[in-house]
Amino acid sequence: MLNQYLPENKSSFNEESEKWINGFLNEIIKLQATAEKFQNQLRSIFNQEENPNTNELLKERMHAGAGYFLKEQSRLNESLSNCPVVTDSRLHAKEVNETLREIFSGLSIKKYLMESLTGEIDIEKYHKTKKDFILPAWGVNVYAGEAKHRTESPHPVLHQRLRKLRDIICSKANTPIYIVAGTNTLDEMARYLPMNLAELRRISGFGDAKTEKYGQQFLDIIIEYCNEKDLSSLIHEKIPKREKQIAGAEKKNKIDTKADSFRLYKEGKRVEEIAKARNLTQQTIEGHLAHYVSTGDINISELVSREKILLIEPIAKTLSGKSLTPIKEKLGRDISFGEIRLVIAWLGFKENQRPI
């Protein structure tokens, strides 16, 4: 699910992504819950003893329901078409694009079939209508290099000019866009308006090498725009990077939160139950438990089936590294990031048990 995939790769997506995905998926969950109640209501009417009013009541409820769900599905499709998600990674874009397309396909066919219920109820006509369905055009692409320009920048014209320069540089050098200037970097340049190389160095994504190689080109555009609009640098408003002491405190909190998840697990709660109780994602809980798999406090077979372990293990050994995405790419949708993380933790535990 996207609400698990985005946190795993949060740094590759724009700030709006996770909030939008969670909100959108919550809307779908609510609509599914309403649909289940509606189905139960129809089933209750259908199971009533036959009387002259039963068929009319069934038709009335179906037509009313179709009108309501058509409206809600149209709203969801519109939200999907205006998806604000943007990523600088082609790999992540492919994963998100495919998932969004699946959601769009499901919504579209349901909407199409609902429209057939607005007239007389005819089962034969319904099945024929289902066979005739053609998926509408799908134009959403979350890859930053090809996505429709979506930004809440205070200076959208400047943002567009910076983005155009970035794309030209990348096109000439055949370089991925995040190498030159990712979405967050463009957002910060257009917001804080750095006016010299020292100020540009404070923008996220600009290290010494990148500032020296590309910095002046971006500065020329920013300075020209600021002269046009009589604007000054706002780099003083940029929040400094976190101090090491704060990072250390957060690390301590993470250790504590792992212990809480482990405690609930030892009490007999399943991963999904722990996630619900702690208001966290299942993937986060699996990450907590992976720590205890790596220490031998949890047996891997309790969390991942033998069949999946046999699938994950050889690929995890071949594609060792910090990122789980290449492994997930090889394994496909049937294996989750959480299961991969758990098996890698188990492999680490086995490695540590070998005699020196």
Output the pLDDT for position 242.
52
The DSSP-derived string for 247-261 is HHHHHHHHHHHHHHH
Cβ-proximal residues to 83 (8 Å cutoff; 6+ apart), any chain: 20, 24, 100, 140, 142
CATH number for the region 156-237 comes to 1.10.150.80
Which region, left, alpha or beta, applies to residue 144 given φ > 0 means left and ψ of -120 to 50 means alpha? alpha
3-state secondary structure of 143: strand
Written as one letter, the residue type at 263 is R
**Whole-angstrom Cα distance, residue 140 to residue 12?**
18
Q: Which two tokens stand for residue 224?
A: 């020209």
Low-confidence residues of the chain, pLDDT below 50? 243-255, 356
Residues 197, 215 contacting (CB under 8 angstroms): yes
- Residue 11: what are its φ and ψ, rounded to 5°? -65, -15
Q: Which two tokens stand for residue 262?
A: 């482990």
Output the pLDDT for position 244.
44
What does pTM read for this prediction? 0.46
Residues 88, 177 contacting (CB under 8 angstroms): yes
Closest CA to 114 of 158, 182, 64, 163: 64
> How many other β-carbons are positioned within 10 Å of the β-carbon of residue 42?
15
**Whole-angstrom Cα distance, residue 144 to residue 9?**
15
> How many other β-carbons are positioned within 10 Å of the β-carbon of residue 237?
9
**Whole-angstrom Cα distance, residue 200 to residue 208?**
10
Output the pLDDT for position 165.
92
Residues 325, 9 contacting (CB under 8 angstroms): yes
Written as one letter, the residue type at 328 is K
